[in-house]
Amino acid sequence: MAKPLFCPNCGVKLIDEDFYVKSFTSYETKDRNNNVVVIDLNGWGCECASCNWEGDILPYDEDTEYN
């Protein structure tokens, strides 16, 4: 998955620094029973200095390799 260049919320170009755009290789969430589940997943965590949006960008199915 390519590094994001623009904010998914406002469309402004993201500042290309490690503080604002960070890659991750696993994602932590909770299942229906409120148990923590860790998933191997490559994505990006972003913060937009323009609109103050922060969140995770997860890959689309075509970006994911299934083993």
Report pLDDT digits (tens) over 18-56: 778 999 999 899 999 999 999 998 899 999 999 999 999
Q: Domains in the chain: how many in total?
A: 1
Distance between CA atoms of 48 and 6, rounded to whole angstroms? 9
Give the distance, in angstroms, between the CA of residue 7 and the centroid of all CA atoms in the same chain.
Answer: 11
Which residues make beta-bridge pairs with 36?
A: 30
Distance between CA atoms of 5 and 12, rounded to whole angstroms? 9
Q: Whole-structure pTM over 0.85, yes or no?
A: no
* Residue 25 lies in domain: 1-67
Strands (E) located in 1-67: 21-30, 36-47, 54-57
